[in-house]
Structure 1
Amino acid sequence: MQGDYQVISTLLPLENPDHLEARGIHVVRTDVTKDVSVKELKDFLQKFTGGRLDILINNAGICYTMPATDTEIPNVEKMFAVNVFGPMRVVRFLHLMLIEAKGVVVNIGSIGGICPFVYGSSYNASKAALHHYGNTLRVEMRPFGVRVVNVISGEVSTNILKSDHGRSLPQGKWSSTADPAPMGHTDTRAESVFYPLNEEFQKHVHRTPNAITPNQYAEGVVKEIVKRAPAAWFWFGASSTSIRMVDVFLPRTTWDWLFGRMFNLRKLADGLPSQIKL
């Protein structure tokens, strides 16, 4: 029991539950990419809660860091299966419980879904999709007394970035006509046009963000979502306020200048071989 709530957390089969169970949190093994697994979660909740769900937090997420021009679609499909289709599937199975409780759906979004953070085009797209899904869900669920909150998260010091460790830019022979390798295979034929920034890219995927702690993040989010009228979009976490201000008050092309300087993109103009300059 956490305050006035019974807290239930989902974990994948191989994840260690000790840190959750030590706090009295119930753990259910669930894969949000599979109907059968989410159906099992629904069956558990019906027995455990009597068919009521006060708060649903869609927090499952993975990342994929790569320039848009080097994106491998199978990696993006895997990410969308978790980041976008996962929340959709969970809401599909559990919406009647939320209506019964006049509960709250919380979608954990990201500032990446707002600003064009470099090397994050695919991840940014998944979060932007989640934001708009939640935006529409809020309108549709309002007649049933269910509230929906999009959390526009700044950086939080979680393990999500570790999945990118070891990721590298495609390196091979320069050619303006080379085709990418087949999907799912390492591209060794066409070097990335971003390869002049490979050293910077490696530092980026291994970075330690200037972020708030998971506990700070959880406390701030919970404080908001238990309100009688929580914000439809709740901006919270490192850099979220500055991102919001730029997005609201400055031209879209401000990002071009800001991220161009932050990621040293001017270096690319001198990095392309003459035969592929257009």
Structure 2
Amino acid sequence: MAQLSEQQKKTVLITGCSDGGLGAALAVAYHKVGYRVFATARNPSKMGVLKAMGIESLTLDVLSEESISTCVSEVTKLTGGTLNVLLNNAGAQYNMPISDLSISEAKKIFDLNVWSCIATIQAFIPLLMRAKDGAMVVNHTSAGSVAGLPFQAAYNASKAALAMFSDILRLELQAFNIRVVDLKTGGVKSNILANLVHKDLPSDSIYAIAGDDADKMLSGEKLRALEGTYVEADSWAKGVVKDLTKSKPPHQIWRGGSAWLVWLSTFLPIGMFDGELKRVTGLDAVICKINEARGNGAAL
């Protein structure tokens, strides 16, 4: 059977493909099923593993309008002006209780996790519209978009915002034969926790009395303890790409460790899932310390 030329293959552009991340795992999975993959990152030197596999890499800083425009021009030249799949994966996390949240830091999270995705979609819509047999936008949100994890409000809220954009965009782009999929990922082994920038609680935080336990929540230590329940990135990506390459892919994809549990929680009465959220994040230990302090008459 004759192999397809690069110009004949379906194409996918994925943002945030640094080695060791979920974007890189998705790039490999798409490559293995025969797609022409454009893996992108702000720093292309961090995609060495993908380049060694023969995957095409492009520079893309999703926070820069100029960089997005340049990337669109490059893809246009490489493909003749079409794109089958745009997968918005680039993102970052920020842990802090709402009472101590830095608004400026939270805005940066929204800029990256929400507005950069919208800017990228807007720029690539002309190429998606020209794709033969339709196209697809995939927005990588998170199971956290529906599960309110304590001390992760900015991240979870940004993913929830992108999920709502995805729901509305799915309706708005139907007339142009462009599908929109919300990828809600649970626990997957990757470098996201390793790359988490640990910020200390302010000295006057209302949680300071809980000391080390609050710090474990901020550092992600409690979630790292759950990594044994996380799925391998290559297995997760293979399943995701299998879902996305169906003739009629679902509008939501739930994959990753405990993703099914979060999905189930959406059908439960409000508050029924709270105990599990407090346990897995470590908030239960923080509450215990605060209650002990109150019982001992400590000034909070």
Question: Which category of TM-score, normalised to the shorter sequence, fits these structures?
Answer: 0.7 to 0.9
1:266 is matched with 287
Go from structure 1 to structure 2 and tell me whether the alpha carbon gap of 1:57 and 1:14 turns closer, same or farther (over 3 Å shift).
Answer: closer
2:95 is matched with 65
Give the total of aligned pairs. Answer: 257
Q: Cα deviation per residue 1:201-227 (whole Å; 9 max; x = unaligned)?
A: 333424323311221121111111111
2:25 is matched with none
Q: Cα deviation per residue 1:74-99 (whole Å; 9 max; x = unaligned)?
A: 11111111110111011000011111
Output the amino acid matched with 2:211.
N
Q: How far, CA to CA, are the matches of 2:80 and 2:44 in structure 1? A: 28
2:51 is matched with 21
Contact conserved, 1:113 with 1:125, CA < 8 A, in 2? yes
Output the amino acid matched with 2:212.
E
Q: How far, CA to CA, are the matches of 1:256 and 1:138 in structure 2? A: 30
Go from structure 1 to structure 2 and tell me whether the alpha carbon gap of 1:5 and 1:247 turns closer, same or farther (over 3 Å shift).
Answer: same
Match of 2:235 among 186, 194, 216: 216
Q: How far, CA to CA, are the matches of 1:195 and 1:152 in structure 2? A: 33
Go from structure 1 to structure 2 and tell me whether the alpha carbon gap of 1:256 and 1:271 turns closer, same or farther (over 3 Å shift).
Answer: farther
1:251 lines up with 2:264 in the alignment: no
Does the residue aligned with 1:168 lie in a helix, a strand or coil?
Answer: coil
Contact conserved, 2:138 with 2:180, CA < 8 A, in 1? yes
Go from structure 1 to structure 2 and tell me whether the alpha carbon gap of 1:244 and 1:47 turns closer, same or farther (over 3 Å shift).
Answer: same
2:23 is matched with none
2:152 is matched with 120
Output the amino acid matched with 1:266.
I
Does the residue aligned with 1:17 lie in a helix, a strand or coil?
Answer: helix
Match of 2:179 among 147, 151, 154: 147
Go from structure 1 to structure 2 and tell me whether the alpha carbon gap of 1:216 and 1:202 turns closer, same or farther (over 3 Å shift).
Answer: farther
1:180 is matched with none
2:19 is matched with none
- Shift of the alpha carbon at 1:14? 6.5
Q: How far, CA to CA, are the matches of 1:48 and 1:217 in structure 2? A: 29
1:203 is matched with 216
Go from structure 1 to structure 2 and tell me whether the alpha carbon gap of 1:48 and 1:116 turns closer, same or farther (over 3 Å shift).
Answer: same
Contact conserved, 2:44 with 2:59, CA < 8 A, in 1? no
Q: How far, CA to CA, are the matches of 2:220 and 2:154 in structure 1? A: 18
Match of 1:238 among 247, 253, 257: 257
Q: How far, CA to CA, are the matches of 2:200 and 2:214 in structure 1? A: 8
CA RMSD of aligned residues (A): 1.9
Q: How far, CA to CA, are the matches of 2:214 and 2:196 in structure 1? A: 11
Contact conserved, 2:82 with 2:127, CA < 8 A, in 1? yes
Q: How far, CA to CA, are the matches of 1:74 and 1:162 in structure 2? A: 23
Does the residue aligned with 2:137 lie in a helix, a strand or coil?
Answer: strand
Percent of matched pairs sharing the same residue: 29
Q: How far, CA to CA, are the matches of 2:220 and 2:158 in structure 1? A: 21
- Shift of the alpha carbon at 1:22? 1.1
Q: How far, CA to CA, are the matches of 1:93 and 1:64 in structure 2? A: 27
1:229 lines up with 2:262 in the alignment: no
Contact conserved, 2:85 with 2:137, CA < 8 A, in 1? yes
Q: Cα deviation per residue 1:197-250 (whole Å; 9 max; x = unaligned)?
A: 3312333424323311221121111111111111101111111001111221x1
The TM-score, its normalising length taken from structure 2, stands at: 0.80
Q: How does 1:84-123 map to 2 (within 5 A)?
A: 84-101=114-131, 102-123=134-155
Contact conserved, 2:94 with 2:196, CA < 8 A, in 1? yes
Give the unaligned 5+ runs of structure 2.
Answer: 1-5, 7-30
Give the unaligned 5+ runs of structure 1.
Answer: 172-190
Q: How far, CA to CA, are the matches of 1:31 and 1:51 in structure 2? A: 20
